[in-house]
Structure 1
Amino acid sequence: MKTLKSLLILAIAISSFSVLGQEKSASSLLTDELKTKDENMYVIERVIPGAGNLSAEELQAISQTSCGVLDQMGSDNIKWLHSYVTGDKIYCVYMAKSEDLVREHAQKGGFPANSVAAVKTIIDPTTANNK
């Protein structure tokens, strides 16, 4: 049910709509959602030399390991949203009740967590047009 709610909020945010006569950008709506939950969004930087050269099978195996650890930890505490694979790093975006849970996931999965940062707000090109 939480996943359905999150998807609905995201769909509404992406379409950008008017609330009380004021335009709200997708980034503004997502930031509002961040402030109303008992969990935070985190960006995790993982230094993995050659990450951009990993095969589809290797990325699948990493994903399966991550999902297995998440299942053990409980979906009410921590969720993986998506990741960006670059040359020598992977940037992951998670929702979690604490930074400690993000670091625990990394430790249990055998993943580096070189940097963990809580997201304070989200901006995008529509931010430039807000009054």
Structure 2
Amino acid sequence: MKYRSMVLAGCLALVAATVAHSQTKEVPSLQTYVIERDLPGAGKLSAVELQAIARKSNGVLAGMGAGIQWVESYVTADKIYCVYRAQSEEAIRKHADAGGFPANRIARITGVIDPTTAR
């Protein structure tokens, strides 16, 4: 029993040290981007097809690390508009290439306004 307590204490110390180290690592600065993807018929994709696209995207993102995050996407008749946070436009292009997704236009968002901006 004493040995098990020592092992548990050692494991807890290792976890605490790992968490402390991860908190001191420099987090990459991410910018927000909107991506316009030309995809004729996008609005007619089924829920299953959209799920497959999302799974593919998530799989590619998992292998890319913390330098890129998918926020959300908007599906229209012939396009998908995606909001991403990324270190660079290059990271977004790498994601698109690896996933086989079009990235016809990529623009960095420099500000956000909404109805409350008028106040």
Whether these two folds match at TM > 0.5 is yes
The equivalent residue for 2:45 is: 54
1:122 equivalenced with 2:112 (yes/no): yes
Q: Figure out how many residues of one structure are paired with residues of the other and give that number.
A: 92
Q: Distance in 2 between matches of 1:97 and 1:124?
A: 25
1:28 equivalent in structure 2: none
TM-score (norm 2): 0.76
Gaps of 5+ in 1: 1-36
Normalising by structure 1, we get a TM-score of 0.69
Is 1:64 the equivalent of 2:27?
Answer: no
How far apart, CA to CA, are the structure 1 residues paired with 2:29 and 2:86?
9
CA distance in 1, matches of 2:51, 2:81: 16
Runs of 4+ in 1 over 3 A off after TM superposition: none
| C-alpha distance in 2 between matches for 1:103 and 1:57 | 25
Larger of the two Rg values belongs to structure: 2
Name the aligned partner's letter for residue 65 of structure 1.
Answer: K
Residue of structure 1 equivalent to 2:85: 95
Q: Identity of paired residues, percent?
A: 60
- Mapping of residues 1-131 of structure 1, within 5 Å: 38-74=29-65, 76-129=66-119
Aligned-partner Cα distance in 1 for 2:106–2:48:
26
Which residue does the alignment assign to 1:25? none
Q: Could you say what secondary structure the match of 2:63 adopts? A: helix
Question: What are the Cα deviations for residues 63-108 of structure 1, in whole angstroms up to 9, with x where unaligned?
Answer: 000000000101x100000000000000000000000000100000
Unaligned ranges ≥5, structure 2: 1-27
Aligned partner of 2:44: which letter? N
User: 1:99 & 1:39 partners in 2: Cα distance?
Assistant: 11
